[in-house]
Amino acid sequence: MANTLNNAEKWSPKLIEIMIDNSYISPFITTNVEWLGAKKFHFTQMSVKGYKAHDITGGWNRQNITQNDNVYTLEQDRDVEFFVDKREVDETNQTASAQNISEVFTETQSVPEQDAYFFSKVATKAIAASLKSETQLSTITKSNVVAYLQGIISKVRRYRNKGLVVYVRPEIMDALAIAPEFNRNIDVTSIVQSGKAIQTRITTLDGVPLVEIIDIDRFCTAFDFSDGFAKASTAKDINALAATPLTTKFVPKINSIYMFAPGDHTEGDGYLYQNRAFYDTFVFPNGKDNKIDSIFVDYDPGAGE
What ranges in the chain are assigned the alpha helix state H? 8-22, 86-91, 98-105, 111-128, 145-155, 170-177
CA distance 53 to 51: 7
Tell me the pTM: 0.81
Distance CA 172, CA 2 (A): 55
CATH of 5-49+65-299, one of 3.90.1690, 1.10.10, 2.40.128, 1.20.1260: 3.90.1690
C-alpha closest to that of 22 among 139, 106, 124, 93 = 106
Report the alpha-carbon distance of residue 164 to residue 272 in Å, rounded: 43
The domain locations on the chain are: 5-49+65-299
Determine the Cα–Cα distance for residues 212 and 220; give it in Å rounded to an integer: 14
* Strand 296-299 with 270-283, pairing: unpaired
Cβ atoms of 250 and 30 closer than 8 Å: yes
| Residues 6+ away with beta carbon under 8 Å from 101 | 82, 84, 273
The pLDDT profile of the chain, 305 residues, written as one tens digit per residue, is 344 445 444 445 545 555 556 788 888 888 767 677 767 777 666 677 788 888 888 888 988 887 777 777 888 889 998 887 776 665 555 555 666 777 788 888 988 999 999 999 999 999 999 999 999 999 999 999 999 999 999 999 999 989 999 999 999 999 999 999 887 777 776 555 444 456 788 888 998 989 999 999 999 999 999 999 999 999 999 999 999 999 999 988 877 778 787 777 777 777 788 888 888 999 988 877 778 999 999 999 984 44
